[in-house]
């Protein structure tokens, strides 16, 4: 809409700076391998495929040589996800832009341009977490085969985060990371672990101190749940925790609880000592080390600007993106925590 006319007293002073609406800057994209979408799509690509390889072996063993030997079988196959072209537009005429610049100190085209980008990233965040088409298995929380768990009651029978014993909550979170690294064969190696959840849930863990008890426990009396969690992970396994927020996850857990997504987005194949590597096959190139992915055709939306008759302007913004894609479901833990 055009900027309105206003009535002000004179003399007066108007502050040139403007108070802008502030949306939550989501950390959800930290859940992706490579810490963000991969800009690899062509403009018209409808589907993304990733190839995988399977192998099975059998070997013969004896003190002398046999000639009828067992062997190896490998087979490649593809996994896929759909891409979506996201578009929206803005239109204004030169009177609209004049009304904003004259009275309100705003460049209307710049405002529309950023607003269009805001629409894209909001959709992309939803696509990442929940999928453009959730029933098709798109979105990280809809990943078929992802590990799901609900916070069990503590020893005081509390199952809400706000009432939970802080030390036990930190322990439970550490155990979730251990389980995640165990499922993905990453124990013993420092990894980037990403945990994204609502501000109210994770924020509570940043303020709640692990209580002193009659027995010794890490952080008692000094560390918050988050601090103990991060400290133990860092000291024990060298893991670096990316701790992030996204309030759309409120109520997205099992039974309306809050969803906290724990992911190990990058898994490099671990190798044993030279010559005795029981994971030697994984060294075949080209390997892909991401467990989660989102593919896009450009880092920022394309803007197509065109003059219309009678002084108007048309601005179309478009970008192609997949939903969030859990490539290797074992690397995703979906934690349901009642607030």
Partner 1 sequence: MSGININPMPTSNAASTFGVDWDGGFQGVAQPDPAARYALRNGILSSSETLPMWGGVAINELLPGLSGGAVPQMGSVIQSASAVGSNTTGFVVFDQAYGGVSTPQSPVPFFSGNMTVAFYRLGSGARVWLPCSANIGLTGGVSAFKSQVSWDPINRQLVPYTAAFAAMATATSATTYNSTTGKFVMTGASVPASIAAGSWVGVAGFTGSAAVLNGAWQVDSVTGTTITLDGPTGQTIAGGDLAVASGQTTLAGGGAVGIQGIDAVSLSKSIAVSYAASTGFGTWNRSGNTLLALL
Q: Where in 163-192 is the site for partner 1 (CB under 8 A)?
A: 183-185
Please tell me the distance from the alpha carbon of residue 192 to that of residue 185, in angstroms, as a whole number: 14
**Number of other CB atoms surrounding residue 173 within 10 Å:** 25
Which range, of 26-34, 72-80, 98-106, 159-167, touches partner 1 by CB under 8 A? 72-80
**From the DSSP assignment, how many helices (H) and strands (E) are in the chain?**
5, 13
User: How big is the chain by its Cα radius of gyration, in Å?
Assistant: 26
Q: Nearest-CA neighbor of 203 among 327, 334, 339, 81?
A: 339
* Residues β-bridged to residue 325: 293
Answer for which of 6, 63, 64, 68 binds partner 1 (CB under 8 A) is: 68
Query: Binding to partner 1 by residue 77, rule CB under 8 A?
Result: yes
Omega of the bond prior to 98 within 30 degrees of 0, cis?
no
For tokens 């979906």, name the residue: 334
Q: How far is the CB of 322 from partner 1 (least distance, A)?
A: 9
- Interface stretch with partner 1, choices 118-126, 131-139, 250-258, 303-311 (CB under 8 A): 131-139
Rule CB under 8 A: choose which of 81, 99, 296, 321 binds partner 1: 81
Alpha helices, DSSP H, located in 82-237: 94-104, 108-130, 166-183, 199-207, 225-237
Compute how many residues bind partner 1; rule: CB under 8 A.
42
Cβ neighbors of 19 (< 8 A, separation 6 or more) are: none
Site residues for partner 1, 11-50, by CB under 8 A, read 46-47, 49-50
- Is residue 51 classed as helix, strand or coil in its secondary structure? strand
List 52, 89, 95, 302, residue binding partner 1 (CB under 8 A) = 52
Choose which of 10, 12, 61, 75 interacts with partner 1 (CB under 8 A): 75
- If the CB atoms of residues 32 and 151 are measured against partner 1, the closer one turns out to be 32
145 binds partner 1 (CB under 8 A): yes
Q: Does 70 bind partner 1 (CB under 8 A)?
A: yes
Positions that interact with partner 1 (CB under 8 A): 46-47, 49-50, 52, 54-58, 68-71, 73, 75, 77-82, 131, 133, 136-138, 143-145, 183-185, 278, 281, 323, 325-330
């Amino acid at each position: 809409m055009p900027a309105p006319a206003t009535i002000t007293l004179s003399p007066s002073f108007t502050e040139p700076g403007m108070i802008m609406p502030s949306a939550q800057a989501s950390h959800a994209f930290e859940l992706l391998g490579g810490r963000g979408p991969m800009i690899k799509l062509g403009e018209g690509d409808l589907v993304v495929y990733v190839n995988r390889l399977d192998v099975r072996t059998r070997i013969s063993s004896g003190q002398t040589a046999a000639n009828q030997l067992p062997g190896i079988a490998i087979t490649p196959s593809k996994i896929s996800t759909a891409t979506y072209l996201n578009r929206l537009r803005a239109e204004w005429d030169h009177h609209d832009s004049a009304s904003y610049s004259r009275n309100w100190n705003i460049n209307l085209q710049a405002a529309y341009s950023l607003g269009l980008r805001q629409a894209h990233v909001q959709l992309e965040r939803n696509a990442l977490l929940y999928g453009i088409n959730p029933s098709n298995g798109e979105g990280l929380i809809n990943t078929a085969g992802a590990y799901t768990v609900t916070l069990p009651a503590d020893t005081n029978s509390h199952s809400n985060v706000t009432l939970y014993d802080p030390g036990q909550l930190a322990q439970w979170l550490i155990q979730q990371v251990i389980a995640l690294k165990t499922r993905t064969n990453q124990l013993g190696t420092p990894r980037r672990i990403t945990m994204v959840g609502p501000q109210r849930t994770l924020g509570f863990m940043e303020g709640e101190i692990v209580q002193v008890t009659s027995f010794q426990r890490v952080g008692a009396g000094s560390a918050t749940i988050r601090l103990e969690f991060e400290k133990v992970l860092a000291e024990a396994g060298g893991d670096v925790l990316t701790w992030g927020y996204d309030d759309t996850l409120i109520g997205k857990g099992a039974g309306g609880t809050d969803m906290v997504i724990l992911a190990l987005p990058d898994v490099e194949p671990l190798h044993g000592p030279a010559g005795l590597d029981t994971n030697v096959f994984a060294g075949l190139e080209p390997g892909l080390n991401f467990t989660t992915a989102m593919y896009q055709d450009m880092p920022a939306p394309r803007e197509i600007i065109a003059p219309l008759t009678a002084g108007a302007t048309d601005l179309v913004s478009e970008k192609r993106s997949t939903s969030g894609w859990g490539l290797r479901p074992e690397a995703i833990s979906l934690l349901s925590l009642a607030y």
